[in-house]
Amino acid sequence: MINLYSDTQTLPTDAMYEAMKTAELGDDVQRADPTVNLLEEKVAKLFGKEAAILMPTGTMANLASLLVHGKHGSEVFLEPANHVYLYEAGALCSVAGYTPTFFQANRGRPDPDSFRQSIRMRDDHFPNPRVLWLENTHNAGGGVVLQPELQKEMVHIARENELSVHVDGARIFNASTKLNIPVSDLVSNVDSIGFCLSKGLSCPLGSVLVGTESFCDEARRVRKRLGGGMRQAGIVAACGLVALESEVPRLKEDHENALQLAEGLAQIDGLGVDPSRVETNMIFIDTSGWKVEAYDATLLLKEKGVLISDMNSTTLRVVTHRMFKREEISEVINIFKLTKDQLV
């Protein structure tokens, strides 16, 4: 089976297994795990922020950020396809107690005018406006990169309205790779960022939340409250250190593979693949004109040996990652060709 379901499906690299075996460990709840401390220091420096804190998941990093930036009754400004709203079991409302207020976006790229219009005067009738939420790269938008100029415009509006700004950067290194801009420059104008070690970076788990010293101190308390205080978490951090060293520079291969695969698929009549929309490691396929719904298409393709996911009834998602090799591109294209008559 060729697995293009997600960049979360990767197994650790050999170097990660080795690093886990040899990592110096301690109790991270007491801040006494030297490997975790080292990862947090390195990440803070890399992102140009004061501090960082290791989290078990991206979902917990998002939740902790919301709980530090505001409290129950707060309002977050975001767009309706943000991961934090769509795919995190409603934690934004049910756990963090925020009211979401939506602005418009195009494939995940926020519309500043719509954002401005969504902000209401401060008034006791309304929730307490606290956070502008951005996502880079944008998952449900198709791995779309948030351009720094657009981010700047959004942040400017947020500052005029005394809002904190958080970037859900689960795949921020894919964005920095695509833009060829260091992550520190990408996040210099925001308050906090979360990124995932367990997406394209091949770690078995782990995310890191980054911000000021006081933000991370409070996030530590929130993490404990949420049940995310980990003991010898150095085995996770050890993988993270390897990832920063060897997996970040490798991401460009995933992007090249995605583009090459999209170009091949675009040659197949009627499939509706647009390579110009491939910005990082995701290919979205519009199946609205197809004979079958997206989910049924995934079953037909799985029978032939390719695993991909459906985002909704008319969109398929293909994600490249470390364990998908360039030599497999032609095999995937062949499988789509063989399946084509059942699809379109």
Ligand X SMILES: Cc1ncc(COP(=O)(O)O)c(C=O)c1O
For residue 25, which of 250, 253, 237 has the smallest C-alpha distance? 237
Does position 317 bind ligand X by CB under 6 A? Answer: no
Taking the complex as a whole, how short is the minimal distance between the CB of residue 283 and ligand X, in angstroms?
16
Residue 207 interacts with ligand X (CB under 6 A)? Answer: yes
State the number of binding residues for ligand X (CB under 6 A). 12
59 binds ligand X (CB under 6 A): yes
- The least distance separating ligand X from the CB of residue 216, rounded to whole angstroms, comes to 18
7 near ligand X (CB under 6 A) = no
58 in contact with ligand X (CB under 6 A) = yes
Beta strands per DSSP E along the chain? 2-3, 51-55, 74-78, 99-102, 105-106, 109-110, 128-135, 164-168, 192-196, 207-211, 282-286, 306-307, 309-312, 315-319
Q: What's the token pair of residue 98? A: 């925020």
Contact mark string toward ligand X, 113..142, x via CB under 6 A = ----------------------x---x---
Indicate the residue whose CB is closest to ligand X: 58
Residues 6+ apart with CB under 8 A from 308: 4, 5, 298, 301, 316, 317, 318
- Nearest C-alpha neighbor of 303 from the set 333, 339, 262, 272: 339
For residues 344 and 338, give the distance between their C-alpha atoms in angstroms, rounded to a whole number. 12
83 lines the binding site for ligand X (CB under 6 A): yes
DSSP track, 161-210: TT-EEEEE-TTHHHHHHHHT--HHHHTTTSSEEEEESSSTT--SS-EEEE
Interaction between residue 65 and ligand X (CB under 6 A): no
When the beta carbons of 43 and 333 are compared against ligand X, the nearer one is 43
Residue 151 to residues 74, 160, 190, 317, Cα–Cα distance (Å)? 22, 14, 9, 25
Minimum CB distance to ligand X, residue 24 (Å): 25
Question: What is the nearest approach in angstroms of ligand X to the Cβ of residue 92?
Answer: 12
Residue 80 in tokens: 């309706």
Report if residue 321 touches ligand X, rule: CB under 6 A: no
Smallest separation (angstroms) from ligand X to the CB of 240: 13
Does residue 170 belong to the site contacting ligand X (CB under 6 A)?
A: yes
Options 12-20, 52-60, 148-156, 274-282: segment touching ligand X (CB under 6 A): 52-60
Which residues touch 30 (CB under 8 Å, ≥6 apart)? none
Residue of 3, 37, 57, 315 interacting with ligand X (CB under 6 A): 57
Candidate segments 55-63, 173-181, 261-269, 332-340, binder of ligand X by CB under 6 A? 55-63
| Binding site residues, ligand X, CB under 6 A | 57-59, 62, 83, 135, 139, 168, 170, 196, 198, 207
